[in-house]
Structure 1
Amino acid sequence: MPDSSPNHPLAVEARSRRRNEFLAFLVLAFGIWPLVAVGALGGYGFLVWMFQIVFGPPGPPAH
């Protein structure tokens, strides 16, 4: 029967893996994905801005 004490190597490994996964989640959730979102939104805004500089603003054509 395996030993289920907290000092058992498998228990320590599981705890370490859980901590690593939680830290990876925090880095993704509060670090990388917000930067990706801001970059994507900023890139889209830049494309719209450049399109309007080249082709003019939206709306009916000027007479």
Structure 2
Amino acid sequence: MWNPFAKVPSDTSPSSRKEELRSFVFLSVVIAPILAVMIVASYGFAIWFYQILTGPPGS
């Protein structure tokens, strides 16, 4: 039977800490900026496309 309060063995070996650091650096240096640029670009594209369909503001 599954026990949610059972102790989970902690794997804090140097290799797992190194992999965790490598993953964190990859996510924060590579993925986060790419994701931010993609979000801003898609928002700009959505506004641009909306203005193509409805015309510029104030017209």
Q: TM-score, normalised by structure 2?
A: 0.73
Task: Please show how residues 1-63 of structure 1 align to structure 2 within 5 Å.
Answer: 14-59=13-58
The root-mean-square deviation of aligned C-alpha atoms, in Å, is 1.6
Partner deviation per Cα, 1:16-42 (whole Å, 9 max, x = no partner) = 111000000000000011111100110
- Secondary structure at 2:13's aligned position in 1? helix
Equivalent-residue separation in structure 2 for 1:49 and 1:14 (angstroms)? 51
Identity %: 40
Equivalent-residue separation in structure 2 for 1:57 and 1:22 (angstroms)? 48
Shift of 1:58: 1.6
Q: Which residue of 1 aligns with 2:5?
A: none
Q: How many residues align?
A: 48
Structure 2 gaps of 5+ residues are 1-11
Q: Give the number of the structure whose residues are more often helix, by fraction.
A: 1
Runs of 4+ residues deviating >6 angstroms = none
